[in-house]
Amino acid sequence: MNNIEPTLGQDVPAPLGGAVPLRALREAAGRLLLPLWRGDLKFRRTGWQFALLVAAAAAAVVYGAWQQDVIHDFSAMAGARVAYVFYMVPALDLGTQDRPLAELLVWIAIGRALFDILCAWLDMVFHKRITGRPFDWESMINVALVNGLFSCAAFFAVLNQPVRRFLAHYDALVAQVPTLVDLNGSVALAAAVLIGDFCFYWSHRLCHETRCFWNLGHINHHRNRNLTQMTCAIEPGWLPLQAAGGAALLLLPVLSKLFTADIRDAGAALAVLMVIDALVDPSHSIFMYWVESKSRVLRALRHVFVTVGVHYMHHSCEVTGPHGTGANFGARLSIWDRLFGTYVEPTGQLPRTGLFDPHADLCVNPLRYVVLPYLRMGLELRRNRVSDWPFILFGSTDYEPPNPVPLSR
């Protein structure tokens, strides 16, 4: 990108006393860093580069599996004291359940983790058969490096401390909100699912419609044009500008206090819902998209749930949605998209994925992948007046400032 590259190769007059000029140091640093910034991961399929590709790909596959607790800490998972029955629903204390049901929920949780790993591997095995293209090994290695950076970036937690303090004060205020309805059992479980997914829907939609949430958070999750379970960048929990953050951090506690939901007595409904959650959890899997396109039962789930096919359409660069910012924003329920007019039915053929901008940087480079969105936004702020900053940060993703820097959509 010419607008961020340092000026190189210009003659600089030698200073008195033999001191190294600052400009020369910048140029030398530019010569060293520019190839790291501009280059993409690319391996030849011969010789030592092919050997390096095989080693890096194997490491990426192992790392992807290792992120699942069922692989690196099976005993802890088997002896878990809590279970996450459904996405965006509070954890269930297994000590409140009969022993047979508690053990069943633990084994379903283990099966869900193993199913995610299996789908990721099946994506690699059947990729060419399903898409007609070879598997994108460089993209998988790049995403593994990016996910590793995100997972290891503990120093970002320091930046998140003000957010944590704000949320602590916010929770104290929420505690004073009166409870209007106190639910329990299966009704409580249904209410918890509806409330959790409603909050995720609006938070996720906000990430697609507001510049700072999109350009400083959610964009990387959508960047890949060869989307599979193994080529999907995570959204780290410490990042407040993520789909499950934003509005959900503020809306979910209030609604959960107004409508308290005690799911402990939901009984067998807990296991049924957990199995459904396991089926739709590998939401970026091309193999499961293909299976769903052949299965009448899985397609029938779309009437209520965000199946793999429904969420994969959310990543399509061919579907701009009714508002031009995407479609299918729900996490597990399709009813909110249907209600608010953002639902798009999956097609029989696997859609193309990635950003709407056909010239967007794919960033097959972990440094550029992580830094580029922040650098571009910083340049926009620098090149425009302070009066434009609120629109640059919080305006619609369609907004373009007077002195623009290309930002991908």
The alpha helices in 350-388, defined as continuous H runs, are: 366-383
pLDDT score, position 159: 55
Question: Are 196 and 265 in a shared domain?
Answer: yes
Please list the residues that pair with 229 across neighbouring strands: none
Question: Are 8 and 60 in a shared domain?
Answer: no
pLDDT score, position 35: 79
Mean pLDDT of the region 348-373: 86
49 CB-side CA count, 13 A: 8
Establish if 242 belongs to a structural domain. yes
Q: Phi and psi for 7 in degrees, rounded to 5? A: -75, 125
Strand locations in 196-286 (E): 259-262
pLDDT score, position 44: 92
More confident residue, 100 or 234: 100
SS3 at position 21: coil
Establish if 399 belongs to a structural domain. no
Q: pLDDT band at residue 407, thresholds of 50, 70 and 90?
A: low
- Which positions ≥6 away from 27 have C-beta within 8 Å? 6, 7, 8, 9, 10, 12
Determine the residue type at 354. Answer: G
Question: Are 335 and 359 in a shared domain?
Answer: yes
Q: pLDDT band at residue 10, thresholds of 50, 70 and 90?
A: very low
Domain carrying residue 27? 1-38
Mean pLDDT of the region 151-164: 61
Question: Are 342 and 378 in a shared domain?
Answer: yes
Q: What is the mean pLDDT of the chain?
A: 83
Look up residue 166 and give its two tokens: 């704000």
Question: To the nearest whole percent, how much of the chain has pLDDT over 70?
Answer: 84
Question: Are 16 and 159 in a shared domain?
Answer: no
Question: Are 68 and 210 in a shared domain?
Answer: yes
Establish if 402 belongs to a structural domain. no
* CA end-to-end distance (rounded Å), the chain: 17
Establish if 305 belongs to a structural domain. yes
Establish if 139 belongs to a structural domain. yes
Look up residue 183 and give its two tokens: 């639910």
Question: Are 13 and 71 in a shared domain?
Answer: no
Helix (H) or strand (E) holding 265: none
Question: Are 252 and 273 in a shared domain?
Answer: yes
Mean pLDDT of the region 2-27: 49
Question: Are 292 and 173 in a shared domain?
Answer: yes
Mean pLDDT of the region 265-292: 94
Least confident of 11-25, 99-113, 136-150, 383-397: 11-25
Mean pLDDT of the region 319-331: 84
Q: pLDDT band at residue 59, thresholds of 50, 70 and 90?
A: very high
Say yes or no to pLDDT of 2 above 50.
Answer: no
Question: Are 307 and 372 in a shared domain?
Answer: yes
Question: Are 343 and 260 in a shared domain?
Answer: yes
Establish if 65 belongs to a structural domain. yes
Question: To the nearest whole percent, how much of the chain has pLDDT over 90?
Answer: 46
Establish if 133 belongs to a structural domain. yes
pLDDT score, position 179: 75
Mean pLDDT of the region 321-333: 87
What is the C-alpha to C-alpha distance for residues 314 and 333, in angstroms, rounded to an integer?
Answer: 13
Establish if 67 belongs to a structural domain. yes
Domain count, the chain: 2
Say yes or no to pLDDT of 155 above 60.
Answer: no
| Closest-CA residue to 209 (of 406, 401, 400, 398) | 398
pLDDT score, position 259: 76
As a residue count, the chain comes to: 409
Look up residue 307 and give its two tokens: 């199946």
pLDDT score, position 29: 66
> Which tens digit of pLDDT belongs to each residue from 383-405?
999 999 999 999 998 888 999 88
Question: Are 201 and 278 in a shared domain?
Answer: yes
What is the C-alpha to C-alpha distance for residues 209 and 126, in angstroms, rounded to an integer?
Answer: 35
What is the C-alpha to C-alpha distance for residues 348 and 329, in angstroms, rounded to an integer?
Answer: 20
